[in-house]
Each structure stands twice: as structure tokens, then as C-alpha cells.
């Protein structure tokens, strides 16, 4: 009877792991990249000199997410992916909402410039907006530091993609170069695709456990 109980526990553990995996908004790709299932946006482990440090899920059944991308102790970057209508009903209202949030979450905020920008993804132009600020905020090991900050907003179909970068104000020239590289090298929907082993890892494990359960049950009742 102990063998039978052990087999059942193993099976329940695998089923539980499969449920957790299904609930995740991400699929792991080759090279430690992540695919956001709802938007099909790819979040690579590295973009230019930036390293992905973590992800966050805000709600909306995993449709509203972010990823932190840092460059050493120089630049703090955050990428946000969320559906149109989650906050603003259109591009203009979303810009207003996000800029209002920047003013509320930081101190001594000064808007330096605001311009239209354009990226190319899959050979197609993606129009967007760039706003540059000077503001005071916590940054890495400093609780309060005067920073340069850049905010980008793009709309691709029914999805907004926003980026925020903050860096020491005196490092603005170097930061600008790195941020330009980040935006030009990030391919939202290009690059690696799910590998067969990593896209469905629990399927094979479940089959193996089922075989083990069958063997244990046959041994027990023999």
C-alpha cells in the first residue's frame, strides 16, 4: 500500500506542476528568452549590453507584465507590455496617464523634451513617443539621486509597449548610446522560438510518471 500511495503522491505533484506552468504568462525559449503568451512579445535574456533581471505580473490574467533590464549600476530599465484599454483607451490618453504617473512617483520632475520616434519591427515601422526628463528618484544603491530619465511608448495592434530608463544625470551621454542600442537591437517577435523540450516540459514527465505509477500499481496488486 505504501508503494501505491507514493505513486499517487508523485502523480499529484506532476499534475500540480503542470497547472502552475499553464498559469504562467510566459513560455521559456532557447537562450533563456521569455515569450509573453498573450502579446507574443519576446523578452530576451540580454538586449545589447542590458541583462534581464526579473519579471513582474500586474494582473489582467497575465496580460499586464513587465521585465527589468539593467546595465550594471549605470542604467535601470523597465519594459512594460499590456493591452490597450488596461489604463488609457487610446495612445494619447495612455501618454497622459503614464506621464502623470512619472510626475507622481518621482520628485522635482522636469520635462526636457518630447518627440515622435519610430522603430522597425519585422520590417514594419512602429510609431511612438519619446519623453526625456530630469528627476529625483532612488537608483540602485542611492535612495535619492538626480537622474536623467527617458520614457518611450509604442502601440502594436492591441498592445502597448512602454520603456522607462533612468541613469545618473552626469552619465547622460553614455546612457543615450546604450539606450539607442537597446531599442534598435530588441526584436519583439523575432529570434528564438520555443524548443520542443522546453515548450512542453511537463508532457514527457507526466508520461514517465504515469508509466512508473502503472508499474508500481501492478507490483502492488500482483
pLDDT digits (tens, 9 = 90+) for 99-117: 999 999 999 999 999 999 9
Enter the CATH code of domain 45-192.
3.40.1000
Yes or no: say if 138 and 168 are a contact pair by the CB < 8 Å rule.
no
**pLDDT higher than 60, residue 19:** no
Q: Where are the domains of the chain?
A: 1-29+194-222, 45-192
* Sheet of strand 124-139, all strands in order from the earlier edge strand to the far edge: 46-47, 50-59, 64-71, 75-83, 159-168, 142-156, 124-139, 107-121
Q: What is the pLDDT of residues 153-170, one digit of tens each?
A: 999 999 999 999 999 999
Q: What is the pLDDT of residues 57-107, one digit of tens each?
A: 997 689 999 999 999 999 999 999 999 999 999 999 999 999 999 999 999
What's the pTM value of the predicted model, to 2 decimals? Answer: 0.77
**pLDDT higher than 90, residue 145:** yes
The band of 122, judged by pLDDT with boundaries at 50, 70 and 90, is: confident
- Alpha carbons 87 and 84: distance in angstroms, whole number: 7
Amino acid at each position: 500500500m505504501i508503494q501505491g500511495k507514493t505513486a499517487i503522491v508523485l502523480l499529484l505533484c506532476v499534475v500540480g506542476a503542470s497547472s502552475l506552468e499553464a498559469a504562467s504568462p510566459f513560455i521559456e525559449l532557447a537562450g533563456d528568452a521569455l515569450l509573453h503568451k498573450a502579446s507574443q512579445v519576446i523578452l530576451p535574456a540580454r538586449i545589447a549590453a542590458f541583462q534581464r533581471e526579473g519579471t513582474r505580473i500586474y494582473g489582467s490574467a497575465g496580460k499586464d507584465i513587465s521585465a527589468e533590464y539593467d546595465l550594471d549600476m549605470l542604467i535601470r530599465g523597465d519594459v512594460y507590455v499590456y493591452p490597450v484599454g488596461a489604463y488609457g483607451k487610446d495612445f494619447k490618453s495612455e501618454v497622459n496617464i503614464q506621464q502623470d504617473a512619472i510626475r507622481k512617483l518621482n520628485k522635482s520632475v522636469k520635462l526636457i523634451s518630447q518627440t515622435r520616434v519610430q522603430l522597425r519591427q519585422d520590417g514594419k515601422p512602429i510609431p511612438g513617443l519619446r519623453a526625456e526628463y530630469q528627476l529625483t528618484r532612488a537608483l540602485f544603491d542611492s535612495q535619492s539621486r538626480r537622474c536623467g530619465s527617458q520614457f518611450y511608448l509604442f502601440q502594436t495592434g492591441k498592445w502597448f509597449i512602454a520603456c522607462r530608463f533612468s541613469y545618473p544625470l552626469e552619465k547622460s551621454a553614455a546612457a543615450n548610446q546604450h539606450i539607442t542600442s537597446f531599442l534598435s537591437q530588441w526584436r519583439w517577435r523575432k529570434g528564438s522560438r520555443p524548443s520542443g523540450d522546453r515548450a512542453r516540459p511537463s508532457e514527457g514527465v507526466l508520461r514517465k510518471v504515469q508509466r512508473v505509477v502503472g508499474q508500481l500499481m501492478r507490483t502492488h496488486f500482483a
